[in-house]
Amino acid sequence: MGKVMDFLKKLGENRVILPVLLVVGFILTLAISQFAPLEQGLQSVLRELHLNTYVIALVGINVILCASLNLVNGYMGEFSVGHAGFMSLGAYASSIVTVKLLPDMPDALFFFPVIVGGVVAALAGFLLALLSFKTRGDYLAIITLAFLMIVKSALENIPYVGGPRGMLGIPKLTTLAWAFFWAVVTIWVLRNLLYSKFGRAIAAIREDEIAANSMGVRVREAKILAFSVSAFFAGVAGALFAHLLVFATPATFGIFTSTEILVMVYLGGIGSLAGSIIGAVVYTLLSNWLLPLGTWRMVIMPLILVLLMLFRPKGIMGFRELPWFLPKREARRKDS
């Protein structure tokens, strides 16, 4: 056991192996989505574990959602329940591009509609950040809740995007490779952001907003950036999700979806990128294995959230980080 731990520790500190692993992973996922025999082989292995490639792609999407919500709810210490709203904006904006505007787009250009989805969501995040200046805590939670409900009922009233029936006939463009790629991009961007000047500002806001302001932290800029970045990646995840599910209805992105993301964040641990990944993986697999329980799954999942809050509010990682998720300078400083 000790040897294994030592090996893992060495592996974590080795900074050459991480990019190698990421490239290998990307090539592997790309190969799987290109060559049918590989995919069939993977499917048969996954079937033994009661999984399928759909769930694996969902893991990637949930990693994006969980890490981006962690930026606002964990690192900045606000409480947003509107993440599913950003997701639905991303899903609808990207689906409009692929279904209505550019139906003949080659599959390789899938990054473009995804970015459109992210940008639309980021604009909404920017607006929400402006509203959040006046309020904190409970009232911010209310504003994000109102935002979620407004997005949902607005989409239900727009015939162009299908009203309550939603968008149908979305092409299935989300492959394992795209999910993997965007998850890595999300984690990479967030890591670099969190250990920059901006990341320190966010931590200062979390600890004491008034004190941070009086110490010269640009609170408003930091909040706008945090909300926009978080919303951008939620939109990206929503776009990937719509093109995995091949349809998008307003009801898909309700308060329960937001709660699911919250469970992942608090299960993995707030203020930790490694925790976000662990939370998303554990939650997605668990929720897939509990599918035979039907609606009782929807009782168990929020119950896990309540029990977590009561007995381990920090989650699995809780403001701890694995060395791979720290920049080089930071990792060395933690050692000494």
Q: Which residues bind other proteins (CB under 8 A)?
A: 73, 77, 79, 81, 131, 134-135, 137-139, 141-143, 145-147, 149-150, 152-154, 156-157, 164, 210-211, 255-256, 259, 262, 266, 294-296, 298-299, 301-303, 305-306, 309-310, 313
Q: What is the DSSP letter of 167?
A: B
Q: Which residues contact 122 (CB under 8 A, 6 or more apart)?
A: 228, 229, 231, 232, 235
- Positive or negative, the CA dihedral 146, 152, 153, 154 is positive
Rank residues 151 and 170 by Cβ distance to other proteins and give the closer one: 151
Q: How far apart are alpha carbons 68 and 118 in whole angstroms?
A: 12
Q: From the CB of 229, what's the least distance to other proteins, in Å?
A: 20
Cβ at position 317, least distance to other proteins in Å:
17
Q: What angle do CA 234, 299, 87 make, to 5 degrees?
A: 10
If the CB atoms of residues 131 and 285 are measured against other proteins, the closer one turns out to be 131
**Residue with smaller CB distance to other proteins, 265 or 273:** 265
Please report the DSSP string for 252-304 in residue order. GGSHHHHHHHHHHHHHH-TT-HHHHHHHHHHHHHHHHHTGGGGGGHHHHHHHH
Cα distance between residue 312 and residue 95, in whole Å: 39
Interatomic CA distance for residues 250 and 165, integer angstroms: 8
Q: 101 or 130: whose CB is closer to other proteins?
A: 130
List the beta bridge partners of residue 167: 248
If we measure between CA atoms, which residue out of 225, 312, 194, 205 comes closest to residue 263? 312
The single-letter code of the amino acid at 7 is F
- Select 25 or 302, whichever has its Cβ closest to other proteins: 302
Provide, rounded to whole angstroms, the least separation between the CB of residue 106 and other proteins. Answer: 38
Taking the least distance from each CB to other proteins, the nearer of 41 and 137 is 137
Closer to other proteins at the Cβ: 81 or 122?
81
Confirm if 167 and 95 have CB atoms less than 8 A apart.
yes
CA distance 239 to 12: 32
Closer residue to other proteins (CB): 37 or 292? 292
Q: How far is the CB of 264 from other proteins (least distance, A)?
A: 13
Query: With respect to other proteins, which residue has the nearer C-beta, 81 or 234?
Result: 81
Smallest distance from the beta carbon of 309 to other proteins, in angstroms?
5
User: Whole-number minimum distance, CB 214 to other proteins, in Å?
Assistant: 8
Min CB(79)–other proteins separation in Å = 5
Q: Are 209 and 136 in contact (CB under 8 A)?
A: yes
Distance of closest approach, residue 88 Cβ to other proteins, in angstroms = 14
- Closest approach of Cβ 151 to other proteins, in Å? 10
Spatial neighbors of 265 by CB under 8 A, at least 6 apart, are 66, 69, 70, 73, 74, 276, 279, 315
